[in-house]
Chains A and B, each alone.
Chain A
Amino acid sequence: MSTAADERNARAPWVLTAPALMLFIGVLLIPLAMTVMLSFHDWGQYKGIEPVFILKNWREIATDPYYAEMFWRTFRIAILTTLLTAVLGAPEAYILNRMDGRWKSFFLLVILGPLLISVVARTLGWALLFGGNNGLVNKLLMSAGLIRFPIPFMFTETGMVIALAHVMMPFMVLSVWAALQRLDPQIENAAMSLGAGPITTIRRIIMPQIMPGVLSGAIIVFSLSASAFATPAIIGGRRLKVAATLAYDEFLNTLDWPLGAAVATLLLVALVLIVVGSNALIERRYAEVFR
């Protein structure tokens, strides 16, 4: 009797996960494998896609400096966005955490809420705020005397980084905020009672403990920014291409699917390597925090 029950117990998890597993193999792993294959196929203006195995697309990406420049731009924008969210988001999470209960949950809703609001709508907001030379942001900065001439935001990397940082900010605040929840509030008091000033407390006590939160937030923000589509497409326009918008163009305008697939595969592989690599580094460095 017990063996039958044991057998059923051993089979149960597989029976329960089987439908989802089949779904994932059938419509996730197979399409991804097909995309990688596609990147090795040939394409011509008139002949379309030819299912042969050649390295033409990969050679083109490796040798044409256009792609190096585009990938470098993609990662440059992602790095700057990550830095901006970390520098502003971490202090904000700290301030948020020190607020009274009611205010804390209110502002948390205000800051995290945009995460679930349409990216198109949020980016449209920035397009309206930037809007050419007499956009609201420029008017504000000029009347405050901070700048003398309007800064071009639309169709520039500056504008893309600002808008992307806004889109990604909730992830950073959330991640740092989660790290702050693990922090014992008494530690700060202990540091002060031992004579540490506020700056020393933040630098020596708070910073090291929320660093894992900042870093895991940075990984999320980086990988999402490097593969972002809507914001670069709307703010960057048609000329300032990043990996995602270039792949879109290859697929839906040029129709060179194999080349687009190669760009997408490279983006995926690069991101997986970066994310897995830095995750491993962080976990080793802060092993005691993750336990």
Chain B
Amino acid sequence: MRRNGPLALIFHTIFVIVMVAPILVVCLVAFTPEGFLSLPTNGFSLRWFRAIANYPEFIHAFWVSLGLGALSSFVALLFAVPAALAIARYRFRGRDALAALFLSPLMIPHVVLGIAFLRFFTSAGMGGSFAALIIAHVIIVFPFALRLTLAAATGMDLSVEMAAVSLGAGGWTLFRRVTLPLILPGVISGWALAFIQSFDDLTMTVFLAAPGTETLPVRMFLYIQDNIDPLVTSVSACVIAVTMTALILLDRFYGLDRVLAGKGDTGR
């Protein structure tokens, strides 16, 4: 295969710089020693990271986001794993329609979902509650949990299961001791991707969150609406650090391209 020419490499360099610049600038400004938005020209300072401690709203929102992401991704998997096994193994009437329904939250704009859930949970008397947030997040992360589990279940060698059955394993034992361990990498990656999606969602959550249940993106968004100061950049830098860690782990264990493209093969 031919190599990239100099023009291609210049294009590539500019492209990468532009892609990274906004993220980099947030992280740099977070270290400013000044009281206003500026790049740290005279020395780095952690004052804006320390300042986060004086804003309990941000810390509370962080815990809400963390709990919400972990819990809703887990609940989504409880529903998604059996569904993925059914879709991967059986050819039945309505299979395509079911798969389309389960992936549909990807296609419905989150602003529409936010409105629908706000209307629904308000009339159910659950407006602004944490339970409502969990249920809503289960729906939006479901496609991610399903897709990665489905990819793992499709690539699975069924003869292993048959061997287990011939040795007398049944139902629950079969699932717990054979099937689950085999699809576990897909399930864990599905959980991680679902967690990141939930952790980052603003558009839907902004409709549902009430003062006690504001997630970190919602808190950040509302803060930015009023004013942009270095505090919100240091909070953003922390969020970026958390996501980057999850991302690198995901890439190591599963391959980021596969996570994002949702390709149907397992084993690298």
- B25 and A125: CB pair below 8 A? yes
Residue B12 interfacial (CB < 8 Å): yes
Of A9-17, A55-63, A65-73, A142-150, which stretch is located at the interface?
A9-17
Given A13-B86, A16-B86, A122-B22, answer yes or no on A261-B138 (Cβ-Cβ < 8 Å).
Answer: no
Kindly specify which of B52-60, B154-162, B254-262 makes contact with the partner chain: B254-262
Task: State whether B11 touches A91 (Cβ < 8 A).
Answer: yes
Q: Least Cβ distance of A103 to chain B in Å? A: 10
**A271 to B107 CA separation, bound complex (whole angstroms):** 9
Looking at the assembled complex, report how far the CB atom of A49 sits from the nearest CB atom of chain B, in whole angstroms.
Answer: 10
A 257-272 to B, binary, CB cutoff 8 A, 1 in contact else 0: 1001100110110011
Specify the chain A residue showing the minimal Cβ separation from B98.
A17
The answer to whether B176 has its CB under 8 Å from any CB of chain A is no
Docked Cα-Cα span, A214 to B144, in Å, equals 23
Q: Are B233 and A128 in contact (CB under 8 A)?
A: yes
- Given A21-B98, A35-B119, A251-B115, A92-B15 contact (CB < 8 Å): yes
Which residue in chain A gives the minimum CB-CB distance to B257?
A108
CB–CB B200/A116 < 8 A: yes
| Chain A positions within 8 Å of B203 at CB level | 227-230, 244
Chain B residues whose C-beta falls within 8 Å of the C-beta of A275 in the assembled complex: 107
Asked whether B138 lies within 8 Å of A34 as measured between CB atoms, the reply is no
- Is the CB–CB distance between A125 and B82 below 8 Å? no
Residues on B with beta carbons closer than 8 Å to the beta carbon of A257: 119
Measured CB to CB, the closest approach of chain B to A238, in angstroms, equals: 8
CA distance A147 to B116 in the complex (A): 46
**A14 to B93 CA separation, bound complex (whole angstroms):** 10
Interface size on A, residues (CB 8 A): 89
- Which listed residue, A116, A119, A174, touches B202 by the CB 8 Å rule? A119
Chain A residues touching B, majority SS: helix
Which of the 9-residue segments B41-49, B66-74, B181-189, B235-243 touches chain A? B235-243
Contact of A227 among B1, B83, B109 (CB under 8 A): B109
Determine whether the beta carbon of A23 is less than 8 Å from that of B138: yes
Which residues of chain B come closer than 8 Å to A14, judged between CB atoms?
86, 92
Bound: A164/B101 CA distance, A: 28
Known contacts A17-B82, A244-B111, A244-B203: does B239 contact A121 (CB below 8 Å)? yes
Residues of B within 8 A of A92 (CB): 11-12, 15
CB neighbors of B among A182-229 (8 A): 185, 188-189, 192, 198, 223, 226-229
B-chain residues with CB within 8 Å of residue A131 when the two chains form the complex: 37
> Given contacts A99-B4, A124-B224, are A118 and B92 in contact (CB under 8 A)?
no
Q: How far is the CB of A245 from chain B (nearest CB, A)?
A: 9
Q: Is the CB of B239 within 8 A of A111?
A: no
Count class of interface residues, chain B:
35 or more
Q: Chain B residues near A95: list those with CB within 8 A.
A: 4, 8-9, 11-12
Most central of B8, B11, B116, B138 by chain A CB within 10 Å:
B116
List the B side residues contacting A21 at CB < 8 Å: 83, 98, 101
Task: Give the docked Cα–Cα distance between A214 and B109 (Å).
Answer: 21
Least Cβ–Cβ distance between A217 and chain B, in angstroms:
12
A161 lies within 8 A of chain B by Cβ: no
A168-B178 Cα distance, complex, nearest whole Å: 40
Count CB-based A-B contacts (< 8 Å). Answer: 247
Asked if B109 contacts A88 (CB within 8 A), the reply is no
> Which of B95, B112, B138 is close to A264, meaning CB atoms less than 8 Å apart?
B112
Most-contacted residue by chain B among A10, A13, A188 (CB, 10 A): A13
Expressed in whole angstroms, the minimum distance between the Cβ of A1 and any Cβ of chain B is 15
Q: Find chain A residues with CB under 8 A from B225 CB.
A: 233-234
Complex CA–CA separation, A123 to B11 (angstroms): 23
Residues of chain A within 8 A of B89, CB atoms compared: 13
B107 to chain A minimum Cβ distance, whole angstroms, is 7
* Shortest beta-carbon contacts, A-B, top 6: A125-B22, A227-B109, A31-B120, A16-B86, A31-B116, A121-B236
Residues of B whose CB lies within 8 Å of any CB of A are 1-4, 8-9, 11-12, 15-16, 18-26, 29, 37, 78-80, 82-83, 85-87, 89-90, 92, 95, 98, 101-102, 104-105, 107-112, 115-120, 123, 135-136, 138-139, 142, 196, 199-200, 202-203, 206-207, 217, 220-221, 224-225, 228, 232-233, 236, 239-240, 243-244, 246-247, 251, 256-257, 260-261
Can you pick out 19 interface pairs between chain A and chain B where the beta carbons lie within 8 Å of each other?
A16-B86, A17-B87, A19-B82, A20-B82, A35-B119, A91-B8, A116-B243, A117-B240, A125-B22, A128-B37, A170-B260, A178-B261, A227-B111, A243-B111, A244-B109, A264-B111, A267-B112, A268-B109, A271-B109
- 17 more contacts with CB within 8 A, not counting A28-B139, A120-B221, A267-B109, are A34-B123, A92-B11, A107-B12, A111-B19, A116-B246, A117-B240, A118-B200, A119-B217, A121-B23, A122-B23, A123-B22, A124-B22, A124-B233, A128-B37, A166-B18, A178-B261, A229-B110
